[in-house]
Amino acid sequence: AAAALKPGGTVIRYGVGYDNIDLGAAGDHGLRVGYVPDYCADEVAEHTVSAALALLRKLPALDASVRSGTWAAAQTARPMKPFADTVFGFFGLGQIGRAVQQRLAGLGFRFIASDPMLSQADAAALGVRRVDTATLLGEADVLCLHAPATRETTGFFNAANLAAMQPHAIIVNSARGQLIVEDDLAEALSAGTIGGAALDVFNVEPLPADSPLRTAPNVLLTPHAAWYSDAAIDRLQGLVAEDVARALRGEGPRRPVGR
C-alpha cells in the first residue's frame, strides 16, 4: 500500500494505536505518518478509573449475588481494603496513566509506578513512588496498564508475572491487549491466584466466542469502549480533518510518528 502513494505523502492513523502501520515501509517510501493520540485521553482515564473502582468495591459480584437471591454483603465482598490502605500501581505512566492518577489522587490511595521514561522528579511531583517491575507486581493492589505494545512489553503479563502479584490484586487493561497472555490470565482468575481483571482490549477483537476470559470469574469485559464519548468522536474527526488540511498544504502531521 505504501508503494501506491507518492513520496512526501502523508498517512494519517484514524486513532491512537499505530501498530498496524509498517513504519519501516512508510519511511522507505518517503511517507510521513501521523496519528491522533490526544483525542480520548480523558475518556480512557475515566473508563479506567470507573472499572478499577467497580472491582475494588466488588460491585459486579455484589450485584450478581443480589440477583441470585443472596443477601450476604461481607461474605461476597471480602477481601476488601479501604482506599487509604490500597496501593494503585501503574505499568507505564504517560499521558493517560497520569490522567488516571490525577483523578484518583483525592481518594486516599497510595501510588507506585514502573516506567523507564518516568524521572524521579516527575514521580515526586505526582506523589508517585517509582519502582522496578518486581516491586510493582508484588505491591500493587490494583495494577493499571498504560504501556504500548513493544518487544519488551508484549506478553509481559504471563503466568510467571501474574503469579508474582498478590492473590487479591486487580489488573486493569485499557492500553493494548498484547500486554497480557490471555490464557494465563484466565487460568489465574479461575485458580484464584489473582483477584480480578477489567479488560477493554484484547489480542483478537472482537473477543472470540471460545475465549476462556468469557467464563473466567471476577472479570469485567468491555468491547474496546474506553475511548468513547460523543465528544471524543467529534474531537477525533476534527483533528484528522486538520491533519488532512496540513497534508494538502504540504505540511507534516500535527503529531508525527517516528520511524
Question: Which candidate in 205, 214, 251, 259 is catalytic?
Answer: 205
> Tens digit of pLDDT for each residue in 77-109?
999 999 999 999 999 999 999 999 999 999 999
The fraction of the chain above a pLDDT of 70, given in percent, is 97
> Tens digit of pLDDT for each residue in 175-186?
999 999 999 999
Q: Is 205 a catalytic residue?
A: yes
Nearest to 81 by CA among 104, 48, 51, 58: 58
> Tens digit of pLDDT for each residue in 193-226?
999 999 999 999 999 999 999 999 999 999 999 9
Question: Which candidate in 103, 224, 246, 255 is catalytic?
Answer: 224
Count CB atoms within 10 A of the CB of residue 144. Answer: 29
The fraction of the chain above a pLDDT of 90, given in percent, is 90
CATH number for 41-221 (one of 3.40.50.720, 3.30.365.10, 3.40.50.740, 3.40.640.10): it is: 3.40.50.720
Show me where the domains of the chain are located. Answer: 2-38+229-248, 41-221
Q: Is 146 a catalytic residue?
A: no
User: Which helix (H) or strand (E) element contains residue 230?
Assistant: helix 230-248
Is residue 259 over pLDDT 80? Answer: no
Residue-level pLDDT at 124: 98
User: How far are the Cα atoms of 53, 56, 104, 108, 111 from residue 82, in angstroms, in the given order?
Assistant: 11, 9, 14, 9, 14
